[in-house]
Amino acid sequence: MSDKEVSILLNFLKSGLTTRELDHRLGLDPKKTKGWPSWEILKKYHLLNSDRSRFFCYTEQQCRKIIADVMRAGNKAGVRKVLSQAIPNNLEKYRDTYVVAKSEGDFLNIFSGETRNITQNFFSPLKKLTSHCQFHGCAKKQLDTVHILRSRPSMFRESARKSIVGRVIRLNVYNIYQTMYFYLQAHSKKRSICFLCKTHHRKLHDSENKSRKALEAFKHRIIFE
């Protein structure tokens, strides 16, 4: 078991990177090897292409524990057993809990810090693999996790709307577990986030305030590897 192998399995099972993306980010060159080196490691531990993003909603800590169990399993049947028995625990604290609020915006006001924290933790493995700011020509390494496809508040409000389970005195009752699950799943769409230094993170917001044209011009300079 090596750090490289753990990194490959983590970013395959959780972050959903393809073998091409894994090799590129880890500095592996298929031209100097035979085939895609990361795929050979995935096959070594009996993982299938269908396992990619299998643990998208899991925490990095839990994923690492599952990966350790996968590496110890020793055979295909053992790996399938480990994968099938894994249950996400990062959302367990929200189970059977509810928020009563007038609107999704009021719900967000209560949970804004919570959504920010869970997003940062959620993308931690991918952030570690990203060596520098993704804005073209920037080499800064202190990075923020930035929503680029849709804003965090927008994604949360939509998730909350799908999680209304009733009404109490003209107020909505929101299922918190469902809301947070839908919120995390909403990030599974390709390029939902990027990693920018604080300077370019601020410039992104500046372009949002200028015009749609300015925003699109800024986005076109973000490099998704």
In the chain, where are the structural domains located? Answer: 3-85, 92-219
**What pLDDT, on the 0 to 100 scale, is given for residue 195?**
95
What integer pLDDT is reported at residue 194 of this predicted model? 93
The whole-model pTM stands at: 0.70
10 Å Cβ neighbour count for 148? 18
Is residue 53 left, alpha or beta, with left meaning phi > 0 and alpha meaning psi from -120 to 50? left
| Predicted local confidence at residue 168, as pLDDT | 95
189: burial class by Cβ within 10 Å (0-12, 13-18, 19+)? exposed
Question: Which class for 193: exposed (0-12), middle (13-18), buried (19 or more C-beta within 10 A)?
Answer: buried
* Residues whose CB is less than 8 angstroms from the CB of residue 128 and which lie 6 or more positions away in sequence, other chains included: none
Q: What is the predicted pLDDT for the residue at 70? A: 95
Contact 225, 24 (CB under 8 A): yes
Low-confidence ranges of the chain (pLDDT < 50): none
- The torsion angle over the Cα atoms of residues 50, 53, 57 and 62, rounded to 10 degrees, is 90
C-alpha of 97 from chain center: 24
